[in-house]
Each structure stands twice: as C-alpha cells, then as structure tokens.
Amino acid sequence: MTSDTGVAAPKQDPWAAALEQFDRAADHLSLKQGIREFLATPHRELTVHFPVRMDDGTIRTFVGHRVHHSMVVGPTKGGVRYHPAVTLNEVRALAMLMSWKCAVVGLPYGGAKGGVAVDPAGLSSNELELLTRRYTSEILPLIHPEGDIPAPDVGTNPQVMAWIMDTYSMRRGYSTPSVVTGKPIAIGGSAGRLEATGRGVAITLREAARRYGYPLEGATVAVQGFGNVGSVATAQIARLGCTVVAVSDVSGGVYHPRGLDVGRLIAHVREARTVAGFRGGEAISNAQLLELPCDFLVPCALEGQIVEDNAPRIRARVVVEGANGPTTPAADAILEDRGVLVVPDIVANAGGVVVSYFEWVQGLQQFFWTEDEVNANLERIMMRAFGEVAAVANARRVTLRSAALIRAIDRVARALYLRGIYP
C-alpha cells in the first residue's frame, strides 16, 4: 500500500498545538502548578546528525530525533517516522500525544516518538537499510525492551522494524525481539498488528455512531490517506455497511457520490501503488476531499489538515481522526461551534499501540496469540476506552477530545502523585 503521507506538511507548529490542547484539558483538573509544568515538558530529547553512504558512493548527512515525553506509568512507546517534514517540535508533539494515547486506553506505557527528516521513497532499499541501522546506532542509549520500544509510523514498516531489532540485537550480542513492535511475524511480530490501527479506527467509528445515534447502514464516508491505516480502515468501514464515497493519497483522490467499489479500489492501489487513475469516480484533490458532503470524515494522513481556514467548509457530521493531530485547536473550536462531532486521535487511532502492547507482551513471554485472540482483545479495549471517554464528556459537558485528554492527564498525574518525586 502507499504511505499515508498524501498531503502537505501542517502550517501550525505541532508542538504549540499539542500544548494548547493540553492546557485546555488541564484547566479542568486540580493539578499543582509544578506537576502541570512537568507533565507538559518532555522528559528527554536526543537529536542526532549522522552520515550515510549512498549507492553512488556519495555521503549524505541526515537529522534524526528521539523524544521521551513521560516515563511515569511505564516504559516509553512510540513510532519512528521517516518524512521530509520531520522536525524536533513535531516529534515532541507526537511523543506527548503518545503519552495521552497510552493512558486513555489504560496501557502501562509512557509516550515517545522518533523520526528522520528524509523522503524514504527517494532511497533504494540498500540506502534505507543503511540509514535505519545508523539511526538505530545513534539512538541506542535510549531504546531498550523495558525502557523505550519503537514501532512503525509514517514512512516506516515491518522491514524497518526488523532492521532496528537486528541492529540492537547485534550490539547486545543476543536476539532481542521485544525491543521493537510492528515486526514481521517471522521474527516475533504479532498477528493482527499491521491492520490494528485501521481496525481500531473502524471500531471507534462504529461505537461513536451507536453512542450518538448515527445510522451506519448507507452512511457516507470519506477517507483522507490510503496507506496502511487508511486502506484498512476503509475496508473495515465498508464492512459495517457504510458507503465509502471518497478516498485519497499522495497523488490525489477519487470521489463517487453513490459509493466506490472498495474491493476494486484496493486491487487497483495494490497494482498501481496509488489511488490516482482509478476508474470508479471523479478525480479530486486532498483538499477537496475534506470538504465533501458526507456523514463521516476520516483523516488518516498527516497532522494539521483540518485548520481554521477550511473548518467552516467541513460538511461531515462526524470526524474520526485516524491520523495523529489532523485537526488544529482553532479548527476544533470551529467544528464544535458548528456541531460537528470530533472523535480524537488519541482514542480513534489507538489500535496500533494497543496491539503493539500485545506484541511486546508476547515477545517478553515468548507465547504468541492467534489473530482472533488479538482482534477480540483489541475490540474489548477500544470499546471500553471509547465508552469511558464518552462518559467523561457527558459528565463534564466537554468535547470528546477534552474528555480523552482529561482522563489521560489525570491518570498520569495520579501515577506521579503515588510514585512521588525522587529523591
């Protein structure tokens, strides 16, 4: 499948957006000022500049980052992103979001994130492997099966995780599969992990529809981003009885008001490696997709896509955030005023980290589950998490995003109070 990087880089600084969302939620909690400041501050940050020998013999220097936001609840967990627009502030924001995401679904993890500013599509397989192994060597002081466990993200995949695991293992002198998740099954990966994020998005959409009274049969859905997350979510959502009217990727999108043939579309993308050229609807841009009339809009690309400028033109009744941070705070306020229900990223796309947790546990125990067991446990956790967040939203009369953040921040703060301040 293609990458979920089918849109331009966000305009608003992602770290500023993450802090603004944190502040809005923290205002609802009685936190001591020092605790509030600590929770809003990354625990540690590493930026590395490293050389890679390219296939033509030239040397290129790349910039990479790894950020640990919180280690209060447990080891840190978070993906590694390869994208030209990767910055330290983006990685900071994503690490913070991972802390809240893990907390809101009840996982014993803190948040981390990593990234390299690179277009992986511009590298050969050999160059990508060399870059991955050198980046891994640079961040080795931070990663550990019981300290910080990387995973795939935008621009990375199971093969990249295999290279990270092998590089770490070679340095340790023995095989350590549990140092990463999202690996191929042949070397300790979990059944169901590749589909987990998209499956979780579909579960959350279903639960939101049930909770708030939106019929699923025939409901129209538009999905931005058709990589691993978007393609799986699209297939799962179609199985719920919804009508998928539009999808898009880096090359643009396709729209048909009466619905796309999802099976034919997936087959087309598998062969052409892009949505573009699919003869089942009208060609549209990513920006146009966001503003289509539909019941559910599912952004599964990059952060910062629904912004103050286009939020007034969003015609969906419900936005289910498959991507991390696709809606800016300013856009959030506009959508709330207009009565658009937003199911936040830290709930909607938590399926990936949930099954990453399952993979980590399986690796530590060397006891592996069936795919049916993985999917059943994923559904149970996603349903419980959405129900808990919806209950907080109802009790406090706040949005689902604020409710999710309130619940997550409160869990981490309570853990910090119980542990105390060392020494």
Per-residue pLDDT, 10: 52
pTM: 0.94
For residue 11, with 0-12 CB atoms within 10 Å meaning exposed, 13-18 middle and 19 or more buried, which class applies?
exposed
Q: How many other C-beta atoms can be found within 10 angstroms of the C-beta atom of residue 291? A: 18
What order of strands is seen across the sheet that includes strand 44-53? Answer: 44-53, 59-68, 110-117, 76-83, 148-152
Distance of alpha carbon 275 from the chain centroid: 21
Q: Which pLDDT tens digit goes with each residue over 49-72?
A: 999 999 999 999 999 999 999 999
Q: Which pLDDT tens digit goes with each residue over 293-308?
A: 999 999 999 889 999 9
Q: Which residues contact residue 271 at a Cβ distance below 8 angstroms, ignoring those fewer than 6 apart?
A: none
CB 73 within 8 A of CB 65: no
* H/E stretch holding 413: helix 400-419
Q: How confident is the model at residue 6 (pLDDT cuts 50, 70, 90)?
A: very low
Distance of alpha carbon 100 from the chain centroid: 12
CB 67 within 8 A of CB 411: no
CB 69 within 8 A of CB 110: yes
Q: What is the mean pLDDT of the chain?
A: 95
CB 413 within 8 A of CB 231: no
407 pLDDT above the threshold of 70: yes
Q: How far apart are CA 361 and CA 414, in angstroms?
A: 24
Domains of the chain: 41-176 (3.40.50.10860), 195-348 (3.40.50.720)
Tell me the catalytic residues.
113
DSSP at 304: S
Q: Which pLDDT tens digit goes with each residue over 84-114?
A: 999 999 999 999 999 999 999 999 999 999 9
9 pLDDT above the threshold of 70: no
